[in-house]
A and B are shown apart, each in its own frame.
Chain A
Amino acid sequence: MARDVIYLDNNATTAVAPEVFEAMVPYLTEVYFNPSSMYDAARAAADAVARARRAVADFLGIGSTEQVLWTSCATESNNTAILGVARANPSRRHIVTTAVEHPAVLEVCKDLQRSGYEVTFLPVNSDGMLDVRDFIRALRKDTLLVTVMHANNETGVIFPVDELARLTKETDPAILFHTDATQSAGKLPLNLKGSLRHVDLLSFSGHKLHAPKGVGVLFVRRGTPMKPLLIGGHQQGGRRAGTENVPYIVGMARACTLAAERRSDEERVRALRDRLENGLMERIPSLEVNGRNAPRLPNTTNVAVHYIEGEGMLFQLSAEGICASSGSACTSGSLEPSHVLKAMNVPFTAVHGSVRFSLSRYNTGDDVDRVLEVFPRIVANLRRLSPYWDSERNRPTGRA
């Protein structure tokens, strides 16, 4: 693994695992055939796709493999799930989702809203959690779909999708339940026959769990009414046209197996994250952890640093070879700070000063030590420049 940077942005993307890369290579160089072709040689490609389907089905705890649909990314999986069920069920015109979804869900819902659907965007509290009472109130007779993410990409806060899916189905079995599991796949167990048995559709992508970018999965429970998004081919039973991306599909399957084999890494990653988080809280005044009181992914910490702006912190971290990300307006490409932190009502003195560190099994104690060494200095540097911070007394000026 290349170690010229300290990589703490694993919720954005991950390094391809060496085992995954190795598994993929033969399907780039030797077994390059189109799995739909008729000659014997192509059989190996088709078999590889079938084996991969079995591996992913095992990863999801399900028996029949035809419920696994290959896509190009989680964004495609989310689009297919939401638009696909909307097209197949035109009589229902209401969708329930949350205010903190990834744009790949949020924007699709807003787009449907513009074309006449009604959408309920459930609020969250200051810890990023949903109120089950709001959820129940939101379900209606004409509700088509509930789409609620499993774990939040920015804060790592986990939603109880097992419970929410059960409540949905007990209220009205015809309401479909989709969850975007992009951040939880590989980090939390996903059992679609067990606790997630009421979930109809589940999305995730390869590149968040050490497979390459360019491959995703959509689980579609048998019997779920859904129309395809991509048409123009017989592949995957006509539910997603397009030649299967064999090497990437093989990589995805290997990454899933690897994640299941290495579940024990979770506790080590959690310990590193906790050490980082506690260390930062000890060393830096006016710093809070967003979503601290909620159940969270073991690898994610999102800190709110009061009275300074996030981009200046990332810039200095980058100069130290440390990769992280921020929900600040200046890094978002828009002028608004993160919709997730805004929905959580993070105070205005801190909403622009968030930094997310997200770890993987490839991080070490040295990585954490390095951040604990440089980050307090980076914060102090910017606070010296801030009109809202009194660096001599090391406290806010009270001007904000």
Chain B
Amino acid sequence: MAWEYSDKTKELFMNAVQGKPGTHLGEVQDPDGVGEHGSIVCGDAMRFTFRVERHPTDPLQDRIVEAKYLTFGCTSAIASSEALCAILEEGRYTPIESLKVDNAAIVKYLGGLPSQKIHCSVMGAEALQAAVFDWARRRGVDLRELGVDILPHEQEEGRIVCKCFSLTEPYLKRKIRELNLRTIQDITNATKAGGACTTCHHAPGGLQDLLDEVWGRQETAPREAPTQRPPSVGERPELSPYQFAKGIEALIEEYVRPGLRQDGGDVEIVDIKDWIVYVHLRGACAGCVGAGMTLKMMIEQTLKDKLDERIRVIAV
């Protein structure tokens, strides 16, 4: 699968990794807002910081003048981070205005993103929101009073739906509404939820249920019933497995080990399954192919004679 990135995406990435002037890698000194999103476990993570030109009396008139990022992620994650910072600096927005810079704005700036990479732009928008919250806290701005309807801690609080990427029900429901996600594939592209083990797709309370709750129940394919396996019917052994194993241990200790030890070798019982005894020859015996074969026969014969003629010995 070759890269399907736009020229703008490739250019922003290469400029960033080469640290060209005008790029935004790093952290703002004494930032006014810090936001993080993602984690190294999930494959991408961003730490976003900005500085505002503070208004002397009205924090709502602060303007974002500098934005920087540190990003662990793929080509498009880094390009999305660059795009976010560039959009903010070009726009000279107030932090509240900056909230309109959503993932669609980042995708537009990049000249498009492959659908399976949309989550990279969502990460940028999420980190920005978190940073605006941080700014509001530092500047004593009450976002709720302004009608900004975002719950800053919903990421951490709430039932986890996608365990692979630690995404919660409130977060996923908000994203389903905000980004008009209609299918499980849409959700995965935008948030990564359900993109790994896929068990949350149709589990109770999983992604399909969230879609149904938000959009109303759609017609879906019937769910597969879990397959019932008949219980296995084992044969009844004459000796219990415990007694059988104990018997073998005792016979090897009494008849086999003493001889081997005289020659600087030893034998280990690796496993016993049904009538098969798996043994590992150690020390001097292990290196000698001929002796190994003879020993195997000797051990097998001993066990056959003294315990059960069905016993077989396999050297491991």
Which residues of A are interface residues toward B (Cβ below 8 A)?
A: 114, 116, 118, 132-133, 136-137, 139, 141, 167, 170-171, 307-312, 315-316, 318-319, 328-331, 333-337, 348-349, 352, 378, 381-382, 384-388, 400
Contact = CB atoms under 8 A, between A and B. Distances in A.
A386 B72 contact: yes
Contact of B14 (A116, A307, A319, A330): A319
A66 to B, nearest CB: 31
B270 interface: yes
Would you call the interface of chain B mostly helix, strand, loop, or mixed? Answer: mixed
Contacts of B76: 330
Given A335-B196, A337-B43, A382 B75 contact: no
A336 B314 contact: no
23 contacts: A136-B270, A136-B273, A137-B273, A171-B273, A171-B276, A309-B43, A309-B72, A328-B43, A329-B43, A330-B44, A330-B74, A331-B74, A335-B119, A335-B192, A384-B17, A386-B70, A386-B72, A387-B36, A387-B46, A387-B47, A387-B70, A387-B71, A388-B40
A387 B316 contact: no
Interface in B188-207: 188, 192, 195-197
B244 interface: no
By size class, the interface of chain B is 35 or more
Contacts of B25: 384-385
Contacts of A171: 273, 276, 314
B73 interface: yes
A218 B78 CA distance: 45
B316 A381 contact: no
A113 B248 CA distance: 36
Contacts of B17: 312, 316, 378, 381-382, 384-385
Contacts of A132: 270, 316
A229 B155 CA distance: 49
B227 interface: yes
A328 B41 CA distance: 12
Interface string B172-212: 00000000000000001000100111000000000000000
Given A307-B40, A312-B17, A348-B40, A385 B273 contact: no
A388 B195 contact: no
A355 to B, nearest CB: 13
B40 A349 contact: yes
B164 A336 contact: yes
A384 B78 CA distance: 12
Contacts of A384: 17, 19, 25
A114 B278 CA distance: 32
B274 interface: yes
B146 interface: no
A141 B74 contact: no
**Residue with the greatest number of chain B CB neighbours at <10 A, chosen from A308, A330, A348, A349:** A330
**Residue with the greatest number of chain B CB neighbours at <10 A, chosen from A335, A348, A387:** A335
B196 A334 contact: yes
A334 B74 contact: no
B50 interface: no
A333 B1 contact: yes
A387 B45 contact: yes
B73 A307 contact: no
B251 interface: no
Nearest to A307: B72
A348 B273 CA distance: 37
B105 interface: no
A352 B274 contact: no
Contact of A133 (B70, B119, B270): B270
A352 B43 contact: yes
B13 interface: yes
A294 B153 CA distance: 45
Given A136-B316, A170-B314, A315 B43 contact: no
B309 to A, nearest CB: 18
A337 B77 CA distance: 16
B227 to A, nearest CB: 6
B72 A308 contact: yes
Given A167-B316, A333-B1, A336-B196, A385 B40 contact: no
A85 B110 CA distance: 51
A400 B70 CA distance: 13
B3 interface: yes
B49 to A, nearest CB: 11
Interface string B74-89: 1111100000000000
